[in-house]
Amino acid sequence: MGRILLNLVEFLSEQMSHYNLTSKEHYLNAYQDSMEHPEKFWEEIAEENFVWRKKWENIVDWDFTKPEIKWFEGAKLNITENCIDRHLETKGDKTAILFEPNNPEDEAEHITYTQLSERVNKFANVLKDHGIKKGDRVCIYVPMIPELAISVLACARIGAVHSVVFAGFSATALATRINDCDCKMVITADGSYRGAKTIDLKGIVDEALKSCPITTDVLVVKRINSEVEMTEGRDKWVQPLLDSASPICPIEIIDAEDPLFILYTSGSTGSPKGMVHTTAGYMVYSAYTFKNIFQYQENDVYWCTADIGWITGHSYIVYGPLANGATSVMFEGVPSYPDCGRFWEIVEKHKVNQFYTAPTAIRALAKESDEFVNKYDLSSLKTLGSVGEPINEEAWNWYNEKIGKENCPIVDTWWQTETGGILISALPGITKCIPTFATLPFPGVQPALMDEDGKEITENNTNGRLCIKFPWPSMARTIWGNHTRYKETYFTAFANNYFTGDGAFRDENGNYRITGRVDDVIIVSGHNLGTAPIEDAINEHPLVAESAIVGFPHDIKGNALYGYITLKAGNYEADELKAEINALIAEKVGPIAKLNKIQFTNGLPKTRSGKIMRRILRKIACNESDQLGDISTLLNPECVEEVIEGAL
Ligand code: PRX
């Protein structure tokens, strides 16, 4: 009897706990509480669901004018104790990371929580042996193999700040990121597999390090067994070091607001921005959103197809799932290798319950024969997710019908590198999923739409610029080394608000639909690309006088890049020059930023103050040159006609 009563109390308190949202009513209550009593709301979430070495003195302290944001100040913790150690007693044999290699013939690796603990501890000891200590920055340039997650967690264990750079970036992009935050160490691999190709990662690191004087150590994971050059005194194979390292590395006790990681994102101008995420708030928010937005239940197998080089992988492959003791699939390969059924083969093989991917992948796979899907049993799927860019209705319908069999809610999750976690999304089975809408804000999130004069729009059924009025725990705290830029980019356009850079529409029920960027960031295949760095790369070509990049709609990539380029006088062969320009972009920015269309022009339309009128160029690239509006105030209206005539 006593036992039954105890179970009942446990059951009821679980129902009441805002950590585990189980119904629409529960969500609405939680949302209301989070608005009316944010401190009490977050205190309960933090207190009941995480391990703290010392409790906070303050829940939240914020001032968007400075801007300064602190969550759980005074608290002490270690995120790896929350993601690993606390699960060991009850879930030691449970798979934490399920690694699916590039080659389907190779065996998947089930890394249990106990094994993960051992591997992270050993790696942390190797870092310490190399002089890495709390606060040091470590660059991780590793493909999607277990050592990527392990080295991330090893840094967190000793309080080193990880800066993961997507292992598809060029040597120049890597060097910029290493230098920006002074990484003493780089962790990499000899190479990586990507479908049928291999990539010489170590060669890229060697090239990058020619201009990184601060880096003194390179740890190399063996993945493809290629011959690589090892620079004596600097480069070491990591495996022998791990073999002799102790499997016990006590946690470093970290302050709530100590940085956990830096992750770079493109801006509309200048160099990439090193977004700084701190420890406690990020942990609480990524774990809480993971639990609810994927409705993760014990023993589910969850798969996010992103790369850990992006924020989605940080929050929803590593930290969020592991903080909940989940099984998180990590996939090394690409959706089209060995054929376009690979994703679905993996879903069947590992009985995946939650599947989270990007619209660009959905669109690419939807173009292929349905046979690639129908061959596999997808009945394990319960929830589907989408992230990174607006998902168009056609892709949504295909995902819903062919993958979800009209039986799986699709959560269209809106968020950013800067936000650390999902801010707007449906909760599967709880709130309504609406095609092309991210729908409702998560508890604690206060969105606002602003008009062009900076006034909040309170009516529904309107478009506006999307801002957030109140801090949430996982927001980035600054841009590494440039707090002024942080303030100018996010807190200046709309006083006392965080400005997202996105436009949005709100319907009569308060559902948000993200309409796209309102700045000069273009999202290509889910990757944020600032126009300025690409234009800088193009302008380095000796024949180029000036250039402007805009986006235009593309069936699979969502957007593709259109470059208008004015040349200096000289002789050139157009196709050769186009290839040279794209090679330059691939080298300086990365292959993802190559232009789909290049138009050579004699001049670009400019305002009287000399600014290139991208709005006009965008319309021309989108075949909307009949909607240019008034161009008479331009400095050089005559060049518009010429650009239209030459349009591709
Ligand atoms: O424009 C929005 C778009 O991606 C931007 C953030 O990109 P990034 O920092 O790379 O993070 C991507 C993964 C979180 C946003 O400003 N975006 C992201 N998710 C969505 C989206 N646009 C529409 N719908 C989404 N679900």
At 254-310, the pLDDT tens digits run 999 999 999 999 766 668 999 999 999 999 999 999 999 999 999 999 999 999 999
pLDDT average, residue stretch 588-614: 88
Give how far Cα 53 sits from Cα of 157, 239, 262, Å.
14, 32, 24
pLDDT average, residue stretch 8-29: 79
pLDDT of 568: 85
* Distance in angstroms (rounded) separating the CA atoms of residues 134 and 155: 9
Question: Strand 185-189 and strand 137-141: pairing?
Answer: parallel
Q: Look at 118-122, 220-224, 235-239, 637-641 and tell me which has the smallest mean pLDDT.
A: 637-641
pLDDT of 517: 87
Which residues 6+ apart lie within 8 Å of 449 measured at CB? 456, 457, 462, 463, 464, 465, 466, 467, 504, 506
Q: Which two tokens mark 78?
A: 């270690």
Q: Which residue has the higher pLDDT, 539 or 107?
A: 107
Please spell the DSSP secondary structure of 64-88, one letter per residue.
TTTTEEEEEET-EE-HHHHHTGGGH
Cα angle 330-331-333, degrees, rounded to a multiple of 5: 160
User: Helices 38-49 and 280-293 sit at what angle, rounded to 10 degrees?
Assistant: 80
* Distance in angstroms (rounded) separating the CA atoms of residues 523 and 269: 15
Write the residue with the smallest CA distance to atom 11 of ligand 1: 416
Cα–ligand 1 centroid distance for 356 (angstroms)? 14
pLDDT of 88: 98
Write the residue with the smallest CA distance to atom 26 of ligand 1: 414
Cα–ligand 1 centroid distance for 416 (angstroms)? 5
Residue 331 has pLDDT above 90, yes or no: yes
* Distance in angstroms (rounded) separating the CA atoms of residues 43 and 33: 12
Residue 15 has pLDDT above 70, yes or no: no
Sheet (strand 544-554) strand order: 544-554, 558-567, 597-601
If we measure between CA atoms, which residue out of 78, 275, 270 comes closest to residue 160?
78
Residues above pLDDT 90, as percent of the chain: 85
Q: Do 632 and 640 touch, CB atoms closer than 8 A?
A: no
Cα–ligand 1 centroid distance for 160 (angstroms)? 28
pLDDT of 572: 87
Residue 634's pLDDT band, with cuts at 50, 70 and 90, is: confident
Q: Which residue has the higher pLDDT, 252 or 16?
A: 252
* Distance in angstroms (rounded) separating the CA atoms of residues 220 and 274: 24
Residue 202 has pLDDT above 80, yes or no: yes
pLDDT of 635: 82
Cα–ligand 1 centroid distance for 531 (angstroms)? 17
Beta bridge partners of 479: 275
Residue 17's pLDDT band, with cuts at 50, 70 and 90, is: confident
- Tokens 């004087």 sit on residue: 213
Distance in Å from the first CA to the final CA of the chain? 78
* Distance in angstroms (rounded) separating the CA atoms of residues 527 and 310: 9
pLDDT of 267: 67
Residues with CB under 6 A from ligand 1: 265, 311-312, 387-390, 412-417, 438, 500-502, 514, 517, 523, 528
- Mean pLDDT score across all residues of the chain: 94
Residue 18 has pLDDT above 90, yes or no: yes
pLDDT of 10: 56
Write the residue with the smallest CA distance to atom 12 of ligand 1: 388
Residue 526's pLDDT band, with cuts at 50, 70 and 90, is: confident
DSSP 8-state symbol, 546:
E
- Beta strand ranges found along 4-131 (DSSP E): 58-63, 68-73, 76-77, 95-100, 109-112
Cα–ligand 1 centroid distance for 149 (angstroms)? 23
Give how far Cα 202 sits from Cα of 107, 185, 229, 233, 546, Å.
25, 14, 8, 16, 34
pLDDT tens, 410-443? 999 999 999 999 999 999 999 999 999 999 999 9
Atom of ligand 1 nearest to the CA of 417: 9
Q: Do 358 and 399 touch, CB atoms closer than 8 A?
A: no
Cα–ligand 1 centroid distance for 567 (angstroms)? 34
* Domains of the chain with CATH codes: 521-645 (3.30.300.30)
Residue 608 has pLDDT above 90, yes or no: no
Cα–ligand 1 centroid distance for 626 (angstroms)? 30
pLDDT average, residue stretch 506-512: 98
pLDDT of 14: 53
pLDDT average, residue stretch 450-470: 96
pLDDT of 262: 98
Classify 598 as helix, strand or coil.
strand
DSSP 8-state symbol, 31:
H
Q: For a substitution probing ligand 1, which of 311, 389, 559 has the most ligand atoms within 8 Å of its CB?
A: 389
* Distance in angstroms (rounded) separating the CA atoms of residues 255 and 578: 51
Q: For a substitution probing ligand 1, which of 416, 467, 475 has the most ligand atoms within 8 Å of its CB?
A: 416
Q: Look at 281-285, 412-416, 534-538, 548-552 and tell me which has the smallest mean pLDDT.
A: 534-538
Atom of ligand 1 nearest to the CA of 413: 26
Give how far Cα 487 sits from Cα of 64, 451, 483, 529, 615, Å.
8, 20, 6, 21, 26
